[in-house]
Chains A and B, each alone.
Chain A
């Protein structure tokens, strides 16, 4: 049977992890259908129909779908679920909020945050903040699976030519009202997909000192990350948090500045290809995962880092 992918979007464009989820879906079965639920989301539906792997798009429209309230989305998916063996979404805050509501309605034991499809019913997933990996086999006839986006490549955004069908909206759930969303707008690469991430921790000592991280990130065209300690201390907003309860990142280069490296932080970054740690405490656990460790005062090392980068003729973007 076919796989149903739940598209994440902002009514205009697809959110990038939809492309990773499409790839994961294709590892389960070739017949991937994608559902897009929104308000005036025509453009995003067209983008979805062009994705590699997507064979059919189902578009569901209503004004109350504008803000992605899970209580409104879940009944739509549950109604469509009869035709599918698997329902797939990303394990980001969108999918984490939505998928269990679908799974419970279908009486299915959800498999969260998989990093690999071993067989259509068997998956690999991290547990204990990535300190162990479990191979699990679902015995449910219908499977609800969220995928770790950084573990699957994004599919091509062109080449597909899926048909777009409209499906009927479900009733509005009146007991939950969207009020507002405060998005942090930035011209930087997105944290989840950036090639380079520069992160600051408690060692930054203040929000003001995060300017050092910003200058380094500017120079390297990097996204800015942070440890939970730095977010809790108010140095930077929550959308920058990397770790077990924040975002998982797998950049080519991760630079940890003033981050001690609690296991909860390592859970979000230790799969990065190259890890640099700058910390004045030579015993800090971050050095155990760093390819290049520099034991130094960050307030001296980061300005020097900028100077050295300025000497280079070219820096990869």
Chain B
């Protein structure tokens, strides 16, 4: 069984986001970049399945600028066997990403495709579902548990009401929640080994997909600031303020 894992390079989750003065976007120059956090869970799960002897190959794919190679390399350092980088410029919308991934899937013929349930930059939460629609494959979104059972995949999904379990047949798409597993850190020897693993580089234009944006970003602004609050010195003062000033209890 082959597992394809899609990983995205995003601004690190600990970075305080700053909006550009001309409102054209957020500041990305000299900002720490990392793998989108739930994509780390996706890689971890694929590697665990391989370690359990249930998969033979894990392929990591990223779509983005040249530097997204670092994100692929990190996936290789935690256990992916080889990488693919589809080079693009500028914003690539989830619809375009899923069309590019569709081309990679047609070429690689994986049994499973894993990715994070949402990217923490655009917060779209679309790509996995779109890819499964394009391929007409089953989808298991927001997965917090995956079990391979009798040639099928049983997935526990985190939904607003609690948990839902579905059974899907191969090939399938799974989008991963942060609670799926605990991603490992790459060890130094594995980081060194990853440097020798192959990364195939493609240009988006070679794949014959129109990825021109359909959504125009008119402006990006700071969120409205909350007015500064106060510190209260005691619980009784807090309750009085809530009762008489804020009038919420």
Contact = CB atoms under 8 A, between A and B. Distances in A.
A312 B239 contact: yes
Interface string B5-19: 000000101001101
B242 A134 contact: no
Nearest to A308: B239
A136 B130 contact: no
Most A CB contacts (10 A, CB to CB) among B142, B178, B214, B231 go to: B214
A132 B235 contact: no
B167 A181 contact: no
A130 to B, nearest CB: 6
Given A101-B130, A127-B121, A110 B238 contact: no
The SS class assigned to the A binding surface is mixed
A136 B168 CA distance: 35
A156 to B, nearest CB: 23
Given A105-B133, A295-B231, A315-B249, A239 B160 contact: yes
A161 interface: no
B141 A96 contact: yes
Q: Interface extent on B, as a size class?
A: 35 or more
Contact of A293 (B131, B167, B232): B232
Contact of B216 (A113, A139, A177, A290): A139
A135 B218 contact: yes
A136 B217 contact: yes
A104 B100 CA distance: 13
Given A112-B125, A128-B123, A100 B133 contact: yes
Interface string B127-163: 1111111100111011010000000001001111111
Interface stretch (B51-59, B61-69, B192-200, B219-227): B219-227
B81 to A, nearest CB: 27
B177 A181 contact: no
A127 B214 contact: no
A274 B243 CA distance: 12
The SS class assigned to the B binding surface is mixed
Given A133-B221, A305-B239, A180 B164 contact: yes
B241 A292 contact: yes
B111 interface: no
Interface string B107-127: 000000000011011111111
A46 B235 CA distance: 48
Contacts of B105: none
B223 A131 contact: yes
B95 A109 contact: yes
B129 A97 contact: yes
B179 A274 contact: no
A301 interface: yes
Nearest to B134: A104
Contacts of A273: 248
A97 B117 CA distance: 10
A175 B248 contact: no
B188 interface: no
A173 interface: yes
A194 interface: no
B236 interface: yes
Contacts of B137: 175
A289 to B, nearest CB: 5
A262 B180 CA distance: 20
Contacts of B120: 128-129, 244, 264
Interface in A167-211: 173, 175-184, 192, 196
A71 B159 CA distance: 16
A105 B98 CA distance: 12
B70 interface: no
21 contacts: A71-B139, A93-B159, A97-B129, A100-B94, A104-B129, A104-B133, A108-B214, A109-B96, A127-B122, A132-B17, A133-B220, A135-B218, A137-B218, A139-B213, A183-B162, A237-B163, A239-B162, A253-B246, A270-B226, A275-B229, A292-B229
Given A127-B122, A301-B235, 4 more contacts: A96-B129, A176-B139, A220-B249, A294-B238
Interface of B: 11, 13, 16-17, 19, 26, 38, 93-96, 98, 117-118, 120-134, 137-139, 141-142, 144, 154, 157-169, 172, 177-179, 213-223, 226, 229-232, 234-236, 238-239, 241-243, 246, 248-249
Complex A-B, nearest 9 residue pairs according to Cβ-Cβ distance, in ascending order = A100-B129, A104-B130, A109-B214, A131-B17, A104-B133, A100-B126, A291-B229, A179-B165, A304-B235
